[in-house]
Amino acid sequence: MKMLINVPETVVADALRGLAASHPELIVDVENRVIVRRDAPVEGKVALVSGGGSGHEPLHGGFVGRGMLDAACPGEVFTSPVPDQMVRAAAAVDSGKGVLFVVKNYTGDVLNFDMAAELAEDEGIQVAKVLVSDDVAVDDSLYTAGRRGTGATLFVEKIAGAAAEEGAPLERVESIARRVNDLSSSFGVALSACSTPAKGGPTFDLPAGELELGVGIHGEPGRERRAMMTSREIADYAVDVVVADLRPDSPVLLLVNGAGATPQLELYGFAAEVHRALGERQVAVARTLVGNYVTSLDMAGASITLCQVDEDLLRLWDAPVRTVGLRWGD
């Protein structure tokens, strides 16, 4: 498996050097692996810190900036970051109003952020946490680690980030973040496995004529494998699953997310089918975002995320955001 890298060991550090060189509006601490918005801490503002394994870019580092995250902590590829990073990030961005940790629900992320929260609180930083758990492909039962956090992370970070930017106190930022998560559902498919630099090849085998339904963003195997389906069939399957879970009764935000190696041309064609499928099920779409936002290295495939919104959430979604990966408003 050819990769545009030097050696697997330096992949994350190399990417951080590139981020630093390319985006002077960010403070990138390459050694300690923390990405911070340049104007942090922002006086009087609750700070948002997130992080997770690398390989999902632009998540999370690409979402650092006004209206979204104050800091991000990238771990090794597909490996949650360590508490030291999170504590350092929290200390760098806390203005005294407290910090919200946005944590994707994976055992590693949860354990490390939990430890970090304890340590940060020891340093006098007020910390709240929100777990993102939107992936309906996983049974949410006593017999699993619970639903995985995937595309809804973007919705949580954007909307809670906007609330924080407006001056909302920690409790409200936290409750909005939780609400966005509760109102979101996702489902993803893989047409190919992803390859991690350390492994140097595909992390799972996907036969030539098959696709993986319900794949995770680290290439975790999904619900089932099937013979390859058309864009239309995949959209119907994914929309059915997500809508059955969410049962939205007001308009939704729609994320049509590329896994990393699916061409934008295909992704927009898929978006057309998702819009059709939602329309046929009487789900109104308030806003659509199409692109590679929560990726899985070089995986081919896509996921959809719906978030049911009311006027307040929609206003926060539309609020200005100025990050490397997401940018609108003034």
Ligand X SMILES: Nc1ncnc2c1ncn2[C@@H]1O[C@H](COP(=O)(O)OP(=O)(O)O)[C@@H](O)[C@H]1O
Q: Which residues contact other proteins by CB under 8 A?
A: 8, 53, 75-84, 106-108, 111-112, 114-115, 137-139, 142-145, 148, 196, 198-199, 203-204, 216, 218-221
The SS3 of residue 49 is: strand
DSSP 11: H
What is the Cα gyration radius of the chain? 19
Give the binding range for its own copies (CB under 8 A) out of 37-45, 108-116, 165-173, 223-231: 223-231
| 218 belongs to the catalytic site | yes
Extract the tokens encoding 159: 């909307």
The binder of 161, among Mg ion, other proteins, ligand X, none, by C-beta within 5 to 8 A per type, is none
HSE of 111 in the Cβ direction (CA atoms, 13 Å)? 7
* Contact flag: residue 108 with ligand X (CB under 6 A): yes
Q: Which of the residues 65 through 94 are near ligand X (CB under 6 A)?
A: 79-80
CA 231 to each of CA 207, 270, 271, 273, 314: distance values in angstroms, whole numbers, following the listed order: 18, 6, 9, 7, 29
Is residue 280 within 8 A of residue 40, CB to CB? The reply is no
The DSSP string of 112-139 is HHHHHHHHHHHTT--EEEEEE--BTTS-
| 275 belongs to the catalytic site | no
* Contact flag: residue 144 with ligand X (CB under 6 A): no
Residues that bind Mg ion (CB under 5 A): 78-79
Active-site residues, by number, are 56, 218
Residues that bind its own copies (CB under 8 A): 2-7, 10-12, 14-23, 54-55, 57-58, 62, 77, 191-192, 208-209, 211, 228, 230-232, 234, 256, 260-273, 275, 285, 288-290, 292, 295, 297-298, 300-302, 327-328, 330
Q: Which spans of this chain sit near ligand X (rule: CB under 6 A)?
A: 79-80, 107-108
